[in-house]
Amino acid sequence: MVVCDTCVLVYDALAPKRLSKKARQVFDRAAEAGALACLDISLWEIALLIRRGRLEVDVASDRFLADVLTSRSYRVLAIDAAVAATAAALDALRDPADRLIAAASQVHSARLLTSDEALRATPGLHVVW
């Protein structure tokens, strides 16, 4: 499984050239295998970006999110007890959403696709970019 950070969901949907070559290769292989995942908080982050005008899309946010998820058959991971507890211990990360996304990749023993510098510098994550 490959967990995609929020930025990867947005890049793939709206600006695919922003994915690095290596990230694109891993992403495409995971998509072909039906092994792409994202954390539920990423959906909330995207909806906020749209609502605040920081991300422009041509449809309502719920339609955009549904289209993103179905276009690649993402598995949406929930913030469960294991993810929450793991995230609480990730003191190297300040952003709560980053903590949760990183924790989900750890709990699910998955690679994390992200361009986020803070996540890429976090020990114990298998980050691809």
Q: Domain-by-domain residue ranges, the chain? A: 2-128
- Assess contact for 61 and 44: CB atoms under 8 A: no
2-128 CATH choice from 3.30.950.10, 3.60.9.10, 3.40.50.1010, 3.40.50.720? 3.40.50.1010
Instruction: Report the pLDDT value the prediction gives residue 14, as an integer from 0 to 100.
Output: 97
- Assess contact for 101 and 7: CB atoms under 8 A: no
Average pLDDT over residues 86-108: 97
Instruction: Report the pLDDT value the prediction gives residue 81, as an integer from 0 to 100.
Output: 98
Average pLDDT over residues 35-50: 98
CA dist 115 and 65 (Å) reads 20
Average pLDDT over residues 68-78: 97
Half-sphere exposure (Cβ direction) of 55: Cα atoms closer than 13 Å: 22
